[in-house]
Chain A
Amino acid sequence: MNIGESTRFAVQGVTSNKMRSALTTLGILIGVAAVIILVAVGTGSSKAVADSISRLGSNTLTVSSSSTTGGGRGGPRQPAVGGAGATASPNSGTKTRANQLTMADAQALTDKAAAPDVLGVAPVVSASSVTATYSGASHSVGTFTGSTSTYLLIDNDTVATGSPFTDTDYSEHRRVALLGVTVAKDLAGGDGTSIVGKTVAFNGKQFTVLGILTAKGSTGPQDQDDRVVAPATAVQDTLAGYGSLSSISVKAASSSTTSAAQSEVEAILDGRHHVTAADRDYSVFNSAALLSAATSSNATFTVLLGAVAAISLLVGGIGVMNIMLVTVTERTREIGIRKAIGAGKGDIVSQFLLEAVMLSLFGGIVGVVAGLIGSRFTIVGVQPVVAPYSVVLAFGVAIAVGLFFGLYPANRAATLRPIDALRHE
C-alpha cells in the first residue's frame, strides 16, 4: 500500500474526532509557540544590550584616569595633538601629575610603531553644567565634549545637517560646535535645522553651530542626543580649562584587534606613567569585552527560557501519545478488520504513525504562525527578535515528538492479533 493511501486513512482518523484532535494539537501549538516566543525574547534582550553597547562606539577603547584626586586646571599647557608641535617632549608634566591623562599621552598613542592596531585617537575634555542660550531659549546640555575631528569617527558619529569641524578648526581654536538633535530642537524649535550657522552662547561663550549630529536614540533613561561636540582647543579656552583630559578615546583597526590595541595602549601608558598592571592609575574600558560578557550572560538566559518552553513542547508530545493510545484502543475493532482483510503490520503502523505526526505537524505549523505573530509584540519591555534556528528547531522537534510518541501506540496497534482485535467490542 502506498503512502498516499496511508495518509488518507490518517486524515480520516484525525478528522473523525475533530474536538479531540484540536485539543491535542493545541498542546503542540503552545509548546512550539512558547519556544519561538521565549527564544525571541531572549534574543531580543541580547540584541538590546548589544545595541546599547555598540552605540558606545564599535571597536572602541576608552582610557580614563582612575585617580581620585582632582585634576589641576592650572598651568597654560599647549595641547599637542593635531597641532604642528607633534614632537612634544614625551614626559613633560607626567611626573608631577602622574595620575592624570594628558594631551601628550593621547599623542603618544598615535605612534604607529608602538601601537600598530590603533586606528585613531581622540583626547576628550568635557565641560560640566553647561547651559546653552539662543534667541531667548535656553537648554541645559547633558554632555559637552571637546575633542578632535577623529572623535566623530571613533564615536560613530555623522553630521545630519551642516558639516563637521576640521583639524584646522581644532588647531585655530575656532569656537564652533556640533549639536545633538535634542539640543538643537530645544533651542531652535521645529526639527532644529534652522540653528545651523547661527551663534549659540554656552555659559555666555559664543560658538557658531556648524551642524547637527545624526540622532543616536536613547538607552533607557539616558538621552544620547542631549550633547554638544566642539574642538577641544576651543573648549579648553572657554569652558573646561587647560587641565587634564577626562578620557582618551581609542579606536582599534578592527573588532578582532581590539584586545591587541588595548595591550598596546596599556604598554605605552604604563611606560609613560611609570606604573605596572598592579598599580595602574588609569583604566581602559573595552566595549568589546563588555559586549562579550553581556552576550554570554544573555545566552544563558535565552537557553533557560528555551528549556522551559521545550518542557511544554514535551508535555504536548505526551498529550499526543495519550490520545493516540486512546485512539488505538477505540479503534481496536477497525484494526482487526483491516488486518483480517489483508493489512500488513507496516500498513497499520504507518496509518497510526502518520496520524500522530499529522497532529504534531498541524500543531507545529499553527504554533510557528502563532509564535511569529506573538513575537511582533513587545513582551516585558523587550522587543522579541525571532531567531530562525528556534523556528526550525521547534518545528523539527514537534515533528520528532509526534514520531516518537506516535511510535508506541502505532506499534501496539500493529501487533494486535486480528482475532483478539475482532472480538473486541
Chain B
Amino acid sequence: MSAAAAPRPVIELTGVTKTYGTGDTVVHAVAGVDLVVERGDYVAVMGASGSGKSTLMNIIGCLDAPTRGRYRLDGVDVRRRAEATLSRIRNRKIGFIFQNFNLIPRTSALRNVELPLAYAGIGAADRRERALEALARVGLTDRAGHLPSQLSGGQQQRVAVARAIVTNPVLLLADEPTGALDSHSTEDVLALFDQLSLAGRTLVVITHEADVARRAKRIVRMRDGLILSDERVAPLAGEPVGPRAQAELAS
C-alpha cells in the first residue's frame, strides 16, 4: 500500500454539524467541525462523554448523515446518498472496530471475517483465502473455526480487526476499541494498530483513554461538539509512536 503518495485526503469534513430535536430542545451534538485526515494518518479523537465524538464517528462511518456541512470520504461526497449506496460505501471503504467487538454470535471467526466479502459479492473460495489471510495478520489462524463465545475478549477484538481489514478499506474506524478489554489485551490490540499504521493504513480511533490516544500520530480533542485542539504527535509519514514509546518504557 503506497498510500502516502495518494493526493486526496481520506476524510474531509467541512463545517459539519449534527443537531437533534427542534426549537427550544435542540441539541448540537456536533456544532461545526472541520477536519482533514490524510492517507496513512493515525488519528485519535478524544473527548469526554457528551463531547460529540460518538456522533462524529457515526458521521465519519456513514452510519448517520450530518445535518449541515460537507463530508467527502476518499474524495466522494457522501451527503444525501441513498441507503443502498451508503451500505456499499461502508462495505468497500470503511472497516469498523467496535467497543464490544460486535461479532455475529454462533458464527465462526472465519465466517465473521468473510462476512463483509460476502456482502461485497465475492466468491466463496476467494473469500475464504482472503479471510484466512486477514486472520493470519492478527495472529489467529489457529482460531478460525472457533465461535465468538469460545474466544477471549482480546481474541474477539482481533477477529473484529481482521474483519475490518479484510476488504482493504481506505479507513479503519475504531470506536473505543479497548474499552472492554483488560490491559494485556489492550496492548495486543494497540500493537496491532501500530502494525497496521506502519503498513500505511489510515486509522481513526475514538477514545477517552489517554493511554490509547498517546499511541496515535495525531490527537484531536473535542468538547461540546467542537474541536478543542488538534495536535500532531508524530510525523504523518513516520512511524507511529507506539513502538518508540514501548522502547522508552523498556529502557
The answer to whether B119 and A1 have CB atoms under 8 Å apart is yes
- A344 interface residue per 8 A CB criterion: yes
For B91, list chain A residues within 8 Å (CB).
341-343
Residues in B neighbouring A417, C-beta threshold 8 A: 63
A333 is an interface residue with CB less than 8 A from chain B: yes
Within 8 A of B (CB), among A332-360: 333-334, 336-347
Q: Looking across the interface, which residue of chain B has its beta carbon closest to that of A2?
A: B121
Residue of A nearest to B91 (CB): A342
A339 to B64, CA, bound (A): 12
Closest to B123 in A: A2
Interface residues of B in 94-152 (CB under 8 A from A): 96, 98, 102-107, 115-116, 118-121
Chain A interface residue count, Cβ-Cβ cutoff 8 angstroms: 23
Whether, in the assembled complex, B83 has its beta carbon less than 8 Å from a beta carbon of chain A, the answer is: yes
**A309-340 vs B: 1/0 string, CB under 8 Å?**
00000000000000000000000011011111
* B87 lies within 8 A of A342 (CB): yes
Which one, B58, B61, B88, B92, contacts A344 given CB within 8 A? B88
Interface size (B, Cβ < 8 Å)?
27
The answer to whether B96 and A341 have CB atoms under 8 Å apart is yes
Q: Is the CB of B63 within 8 A of A342?
A: no
* Bound: A2/B84 CA distance, A: 16
Contact flag A340-B88 (CB < 8 Å), given A5-B118, A418-B63: no
Inter-chain CA distance A416–B90, complex, in Å, is 16
Whether B215 sits at the interface, judged by CB under 8 Å, is no
A contact set with B: CB distance below 8 Å:
1-2, 5, 12, 16, 333-334, 336-347, 417-419, 422
13 residue pairs of the A-B complex, CB under 8 angstroms, read A12-B106, A336-B102, A337-B102, A340-B63, A340-B96, A341-B90, A342-B88, A342-B119, A342-B167, A343-B119, A344-B119, A345-B83, A345-B87
Please name 6 further chain A to chain B contacts, defined as beta carbons within 8 Å, in addition to the given A336-B102, A346-B84, A417-B63, sorted by A numbering.
A337-B102, A342-B167, A343-B87, A343-B91, A418-B63, A419-B58
Residues in B lying within 8 Å of A, measured CB to CB: 58, 61, 63-64, 83-84, 87-88, 90-92, 96, 98, 102-107, 115-116, 118-121, 163, 167
- The list of the 10 closest CB pairs from A to B, nearest first, reads A342-B91, A342-B119, A337-B102, A341-B116, A419-B63, A344-B87, A418-B63, A343-B119, A5-B118, A342-B90
